[in-house]
Structure 1
Amino acid sequence: MEKILIELVHRDARLARAISEVSISEPQSSGDVYYDLLESIVSQQLSTKVADVIFRRFLKLFPGEYPHPNQLMAMDLDTLRSVGLSKGKSQYMQNVADFWVREELETKKWEDFGDDELVQYLSQIKGVGRWTVEMILIFTLQRPDIFPTDDLGVQQGMMLLYGLEKDKNLKKKMTEIAEAWRPYRSTASRVIWRWKGQQKTA
């Protein structure tokens, strides 16, 4: 991690400023794509605090607090909604469970999938979009070179750090800047997130 940060400092002076102001450690991963997909769906459009409460309630519905796919598919929507999930999110989570069983993902080797290939593959699940899969790639599978241009935190952080405007060219400009970060765009994105988070309390 330290070598990557030093390399990024040399490549991008503005990112170097952010790196100097934050602390970034080695990411910790559950390694469980199925579980993390469910958690990502719960967190969509919710604050971290609210999402954590709802997800903990959701887990308590299952023996051992683990929502095994067949158990999740068998659960009625009213029970899922009783813990604070919307009807849509309840269905999306069952979609994940159904896809997991149907595609026999327990036996799949994720390292056999390229980054874009995995985005396309998992985005087939209704309720799972590109952003959600990119979060799985960065945090669960720890792929080193993911740049989530749709992420609001990355957008806001880069607007602040690089003086970008929120217009139709924002993502294009972000992508151009991030070219200098290859093949470490995941780490650079984590720096931007952390730095942006600190600005809120500054």
Structure 2
Amino acid sequence: MGAVKTKLFEYSQDEMDYLKTLDPQLGGMITRIGRIERVIIPDLFAALIHAIVGQLISVKAAETVWDRMQNRFEEISAYNLAQQTADDIQACGLTMRKANYIHAISSTIAEGDFLLEELRDLPDREVIQKLTKLEGVGQWTAEMLLINCLERKDVVSWGDIAIRRGMMKLYGLDTITKQQFEMYRQRYSPLGSIASIYLWHISFVD
């Protein structure tokens, strides 16, 4: 049974140290927490399906569904999922809507009508533009692929509730506006993805 291969998001001590200088509050957290190991999926198709599974549900629920999919289908590939029915996919614990999206995307990619591998050579903005043309893929899903597959270094997603919650906890805010979010996002640049890894952690820690 071929479980989807994973690896750790690669970032250096120098990058951590530089990020600390960009934002003292985040820097204090990085010093206190130390290195965080962020598991990612290098395979573009598997990472895309994983991101779709994770839309609008908890991390725990997403991992339960993902485990079921790997057990049921063995290989998470465009060709293999295109051979399944939407009902087969939905049976793993997804909504029918998501199952239909996953089936349609799998078929589109299996038939060669969308060339996923070309994304590796494109800048972030173009990756998002191309991916969001697929029905069922929005900005957040595309941004998760940038971090959790392509290891792009400067992504902080406004659409990610946990990222926003992490920012609010870090800076002692009751709410956060898009303008405040943008200010912090620009402050972390060009290492926003590493900041995101810490903000996720802060969000889930009491």
One fold, TM greater than 0.5? Answer: yes
Contact 2:36/2:197, CA 8 A, preserved across alignment = no
Q: What are the residue-to-residue correspondences of 1:160-175 with 2, within 5 Å?
A: 160-166=169-175, 170-175=177-182
Rounded Cα–Cα distance in structure 2 between residues aligned with 1:76 and 1:113: 32
Equivalent residue number for residue 141 of structure 1: 150
Contact 1:24/1:191, CA 8 A, preserved across alignment = no
Q: In structure 2, do the counterparts of structure 1 residues 29 and 77 end up closer, same or farther at CA, with 3 Å as the change threshold?
A: closer
**Which of 83, 87, 109 matches 1:100?**
109
Deviation of residue 27 (structure 1)?
4.2
Q: What are the residue-to-residue correspondences of 1:26-175 with 2, within 5 Å?
A: 27-62=38-73, 65-101=74-110, 102-105=112-115, 108-166=117-175, 170-175=177-182
Using the TM superposition, name which of 47-56 and 88-97 deviates more: 47-56
Deviation of residue 121 (structure 1)?
0.4
Using the TM superposition, name which of 35-44 and 182-191 deviates more: 35-44
Rounded Cα–Cα distance in structure 1 between residues aligned with 2:83 and 2:120: 30
TM-score by length of 2: 0.85
Identity value in percent? 28
Q: In structure 2, do the counterparts of structure 1 residues 68 and 177 end up closer, same or farther at CA, with 3 Å as the change threshold?
A: closer
TM-score by length of 1: 0.86
Deviation of residue 85 (structure 1)?
1.9
Unmatched tracts of structure 1, length 5 or more: none
Higher RCO (Cα < 8 Å, 6 or more apart):
1
Q: CA RMSD in A?
A: 2.0
Q: Does 1:193 align with 2:200?
A: yes
Equivalent residue number for residue 191 of structure 2: 184
